Amino acid sequence: MELSAIGVIGAGQMGNGIAHVFALAGYDVLVNDIQQAALDKAVAQISGNLDRQVSKERISAEEKAAAMGRIKTTLHLPDLGQTDLVIEAATERESVKSAIFEDLVPHLKPETILTSNTSSISITRLASRTDRPEKFMGFHFMNPVPVMQLVELIRGIATDDETYQTCLKVVENLGKTAASSEDFPGFIVNRILMPMINEAVYTLYEGVGGVASIDSAMKLGTNHPMGPLELADFIGLDTCLAIMNVLHDGLADTKYRPCPLLTKYVEAGWLGRKSKRGFYDYRGEVPTPTR
Q: Residue 92, annotated ligand binder?
A: yes
Q: Residue 33, annotated ligand binder?
A: yes
For residue 83, give the 3-state DSSP assignment: coil
CA separation for the pair 89, 139 (Å, rounded) = 10
Q: Which of 76, 75, 78, 79 is nearest to 28 (CA)?
A: 79
Residues that are catalytic: 119, 140, 152, 190
Q: Residue 7, annotated ligand binder?
A: no
Residues 135 and 161 sit within 8 Å (Cβ to Cβ): no
C-alpha torsion sign, points 148, 219, 206, 254: positive
Following DSSP, what letter does each residue of 41-91 receive, concatenated? Answer: HHHHHHHHHHHHHHHTTSS-HHHHHHHHHTEEEES-GGGGGG-SEEEE---
Q: Residue 15, annotated ligand binder?
A: yes
Q: Residue 206, annotated ligand binder?
A: no
Q: Residue 122, annotated ligand binder?
A: no
Q: Residue 255, annotated ligand binder?
A: no
Q: Residue 274, annotated ligand binder?
A: yes
Q: Residue 10, annotated ligand binder?
A: yes
CA separation for the pair 178, 171 (Å, rounded) = 6
**How many other CB atoms are there within 10 angstroms of residue 92's CB atom?**
20
Q: Residue 11, annotated ligand binder?
A: yes
Residues 113 and 165 sit within 8 Å (Cβ to Cβ): no
Q: Residue 238, annotated ligand binder?
A: no
Q: Summarize the annotated binding site for NAD(+) as residue ranges.
A: 10-15, 33, 92, 97, 119, 143, 274
Q: Summarize the annotated binding site as residue ranges.
A: 10-15, 33, 92, 97, 119, 143, 274
